Structure 1
Amino acid sequence: MQGANLAQISVSLGLVEAAEMDEMWSFVQSKQQQRWLWHAIDHATGKVLAYVLASHEDVAFLELKALLKPFGITKFFTDGWGAYQRHLDEQAHVIGKSNTQKIERKHLTLRTRIKRLARKTICFSKSIVMHDLVIGLFINRYEFGLPV
């Protein structure tokens, strides 16, 4: 790229002992076309580890789980959604709201800053591509400090 000032991006993965995982509902064009943000954060620091924008199906959770594998997570805190119970080891899975407060707080921040995620809004996406781009770009910029 001629004349462009490209920043160096370095990636380092550390081990994460415990993670909070949750999913967040939104829609494209109408409430019948649901879109879900599945994401996981480090339980100790609250930093986002990975996210997936997809449907509310087990395959989306499995994609998120695959993204988390390099972190070596030994304990997962979630709500009682069935996909978590079906695909997480019982010994590593803790169900309950008391250990998912950081990720629920992150949901409030996202709903406040991205109107497409608000429960009652007149701001919505007309295509899945634009919906995922807007949310993905915001998360990458806000959580990872990546240039857009």
Structure 2
Amino acid sequence: FVVGDHSLETFKPLWQIVMGWACFLYITDGYKVYPCVIEDGDHLVSKTAMTRVEGENCRLRHYLARLHRKTLCYSKSVDMLTTSVRLLIYYL
């Protein structure tokens, strides 16, 4: 995972990791930065195919209060957020 905003600069390090998996097809939700780096023939935009990913995101937010949206229950420290997510993934 990569922590950051929704910019292309944040997506590039994540894309470097994902490219190493050598997938034949990448399914995304159609966010505007994806076509900048994913070739058209390898890219499928499908919100319905994203249900598993969205389910995992919901599960992470359920177990880790600092990922909840619109709450004050989170740390603003990127190091603390990164460490918390790593610990959660380890225990799950």
TM-score, structure 1 normalization: 0.57
Number of matched pairs: 92
In the alignment, what sits opposite 2:31?
Answer: 81
Q: CA deviation at 1:56?
A: 1.8
CA RMSD of aligned residues (A): 1.4
In the alignment, what sits opposite 1:71?
Answer: 21
Q: Which one scores higher on RCO, CA 8 angstroms, separation ≥ 6?
A: 1
Aligned residue for 1:77, secondary structure, equals strand
- For residues 46-101 of structure 1, give each alpha carbon's deviation from its aligned partner in whole angstroms, at most 9, with x where no partner exists: xxxxx211222112211111112221111001011111121100011011211111
Larger Rg: 1
In the alignment, what sits opposite 1:59?
Answer: 9
Q: CA deviation at 1:122?
A: 2.9
- For residues 97-146 of structure 1, give each alpha carbon's deviation from its aligned partner in whole angstroms, at most 9, with x where no partner exists: 1111100000110110011111132311032211221122212442xxxx
CA contact (8 A) 2:3 2:78 kept: no
AA in 1 matched with 2:9: V
AA in 1 matched with 2:76: K
In the alignment, what sits opposite 1:94?
Answer: 44
In the alignment, what sits opposite 1:130?
Answer: 80
AA in 2 matched with 1:94: L
% identical aligned pairs: 27
Counterparts in 2 of 1:116 and 1:54: CA distance versus 1, 3 Å: same
The structure where strand makes up a greater share of residues is 1
For residues 1-148 of structure 1, the aligned pairs below 5 Å read 51-142=1-92
